[in-house]
Chain A
Amino acid sequence: MRTEKIGATLLVTDLPTLTSDNSRAFKEFVRGALEPGHMLVEVDLGEARSVDSNGLGALISIHKTLCGRGGRVRLLHPSPLINEMFQLLQLDKIFEIVPRPS
């Protein structure tokens, strides 16, 4: 897990999974890296092979933190399977999802 700060954006990369075993650590890691000026958190799921409901819970938690300051969360390049799950759970309505380049 790594973060990169680009202006008002906090970019989170290096996420091989976002599941029950690391979702809490992920949430705390991102919250710890957030600065007052950050209005957008981009989570790069390009390398994520699996995301489960606990991982989603962590993303939703961060989303709520950002909403509180008028910001948002953008999910980058999830695999088709993970993207399918977001749609199945109608989470594409609350997250901006940037598809994986074909």
Chain B
Amino acid sequence: MTGTPNQWVRKFAFEFPCEVAEVREACRRSRVELTAAGLGEDEVGHWELILAEAGNNAVYYALGWQKHLPVRFEFYVDDLAVEARVQDHGPGFELPDQVELPPPDSEDGRGLFLIKTLSDEAAYYRGKGENWLVLKKKRLAAGTQPVIATNPVVDNSRTQELADSEATLELMTEELASAYESLSTIFRFSAELSEQPKPEEFARKWLGEVSKIAAADWFILRLLEEGEGLKVVASSMDLNGREVLSLENAGEADVSLELRAASFRMDVWFDPTHPVAAIDPLAKVAGQGSGFAHPIVINDRLVGVLSVGRYLADAVFQAGQVSLIQTFADFLGIQIRNAQFQQQQLQTKLTARELQIAADIQRSLLPKQLPNVPGFQLVGHYQSARQVGGDFYDVVQTADGGLLLAIADVMGKGVPAAMFAAIFRSQLRAAAERATSPAVLLTSLNRSLFADLDQVEMFITAQLVYFNPRDRAIQLSAAGHPPLILAGSDGRLQAVENSGMPLGVLADTEYTERTVVLPPGANLLMFTDGLTEARDPEGKLLWLSPLEKCVAQGAKAGQRAETTKAALIALVEAHQQGVPPGDDQTFLLLAEYRGDARTTSRT
């Protein structure tokens, strides 16, 4: 503090609570100790006044949690001088070289003047969490006063030097050891972090080490879980089932120290004079001891709250220990945030991968080539939504030369929906060749798929059309699916509806079918509800009628199926105005095309 230590023949130190009333008692004790050290009455009187002023300042300027830390007096006395050190935990101040006297009628401002005037040397050292006022004053009638009869001075100066050096070294070693312990703990845990331990396990180990270094008897770490509250993730004792503290309930902050620390984002202290409320969840642990709750805030975001304490009321934490706990808690907070961020990134990657798999399955379900039907054109369209759904379409040639047109929409998104679409398609393909009745096929598909769909509470809407070009008739059966759109070359629309329950809802549903003869120049559109439910930027749905108009126009103009398909896609896109589709958009268009027939006949 003040250079090479003197040959102190008496050292003593004590602490007292940071309260005005305690300063007097501390001064009285100093008087007793200094008298015992051999100081005369006058010099003891001077020191008592100096210490009263220094003690008052230490108490008056401490703020908030700083008031929970004790003030420390240390004395080093030899036969030439006395050095007193006063440790405070306030914000500190600049000690001016010269202190002026205030005007005579001023009621304050004389403390520093007395300290500076009555001592020979005064220096103030500001540190992190603690400050030291170091005061030196020569002894009156130096060397003439007996030091203390009960503590004879060993008149061997070399031995004294050695003892003092040893004491200094001991102090330095203690400080260094503490710093080394802290640093080595940080390094060791940083190394462990590279092995990506679970945040909870890491926190428990980390805080266990910190508790040892800071001599804490217990700790509880709560982390903020979005939408839930502060949850215990690590503690020095078994706290299974301990309730979650909700930040939503502001009233609870009145009774919970941890919530108060989280809400106000400041350390909240407790000790027997400021005890934890009996209904505070911390009460059982904190008891009559002392400690504090420290909010862990990283980048202005609350990560959690660390509470630490000691069972003994008078064993309050030292400033260095408080700083250590706060620093380590914040470091832990950074690690936890990083771990959470990595977890989120991993989850995003997994989701992206899952979507990719679903999209791959989806693509594999769509027929690469649609069969040629003399006099007709067949086109399909599939536009996946951002989250892949379970739409698909298929066309299967039946044994009797007909075609089975299928379109389906599996409820749900992602891999599960794509998987069910695949199962549905494979079962459909297996049975389709021999089936000429869509209703029988749907009834059979529902029976075989019901158990699996029911188990995962999913369902499928589907529409099957059997078409035989020879007789121009279609048989239609549907399971909870939108109607199909049918228009002839005269532009007239026919509403063709036939719908039973979606697949997977009732085990023994019997599906029905209806037969419709295709009008000349027929255009037939099978689609999923992703089309009718396409939304514009204001959320308005497209609905059925624009689709009907588009199909009717195509039929009337005798357009190629590809042209009508392009018109349908353009219609939906124009409606959406850039809004990404919320659901898969799928359709299958069968269009009678006279142009091709003529071409075919010529060749």
Q: Write the residues of chain A forming the contact surface with B, with a CB cutoff of 8 angstroms.
A: 17, 19-21, 50, 52-54, 56-58, 60-61, 63-64, 79-81, 85, 88-91, 93-94
Contact = CB atoms under 8 A, between A and B. Distances in A.
Give 9 closest A-B pairs by Cβ, nearest first: A57-B107, A81-B45, A53-B110, A52-B52, A53-B111, A21-B21, A21-B24, A20-B56, A60-B107
A72 to B, nearest CB: 13
Contacts of A80: 42
A63 B106 CA distance: 11
A50 B46 CA distance: 10
A93 B52 contact: no
Contacts of A94: 104-105
Contacts, number: 68
B49 A21 contact: no
B113 to A, nearest CB: 7
Contacts of B48: 50
A6 to B, nearest CB: 26
A54 B106 CA distance: 11
B104 A17 contact: no
Nearest to A88: B117
> Helix, strand, loop or mixed for chain A's interface?
helix
A81 B24 CA distance: 17
Interface of B: 20-21, 23-24, 27, 42, 45-46, 48-49, 52-53, 56, 59, 101, 104-108, 110-111, 113-114, 117-118
17 contacts: A19-B23, A19-B52, A50-B27, A50-B45, A50-B49, A52-B49, A52-B111, A54-B56, A60-B104, A60-B105, A60-B106, A64-B105, A81-B49, A88-B117, A89-B113, A90-B101, A94-B105
Contacts of B20: 20-21
B106 A20 contact: no
A89 B108 CA distance: 12
Given A21-B21, A81-B45, A53 B56 contact: yes
A20 B45 contact: no
A53 B46 contact: no
B24 A20 contact: yes
A16 to B, nearest CB: 10
Given A50-B49, A88-B117, A17 B105 contact: no
Contacts of A58: 107
Contact of B110 (A17, A56, A93): A56
A50 B52 contact: yes
Contacts of A88: 114, 117-118
A93 B27 contact: no
A54 B33 CA distance: 24
A52 B104 contact: no
Contacts of A93: 104
Contacts of A64: 105, 107
Q: From A17, A19, A52, A81, name the one whose CB has the most chain B CB atoms within 10 angstroms.
A: A52
Contacts of A60: 104-107
Nearest to A95: B104
A53 B117 CA distance: 13
A88 to B, nearest CB: 6
A57 B56 contact: no
Q: From A21, A60, A90, A94, name the one whose CB has the most chain B CB atoms within 10 angstroms.
A: A21
Contacts of A91: 104
A81 B46 contact: yes
A7 to B, nearest CB: 27
A80 B46 CA distance: 11
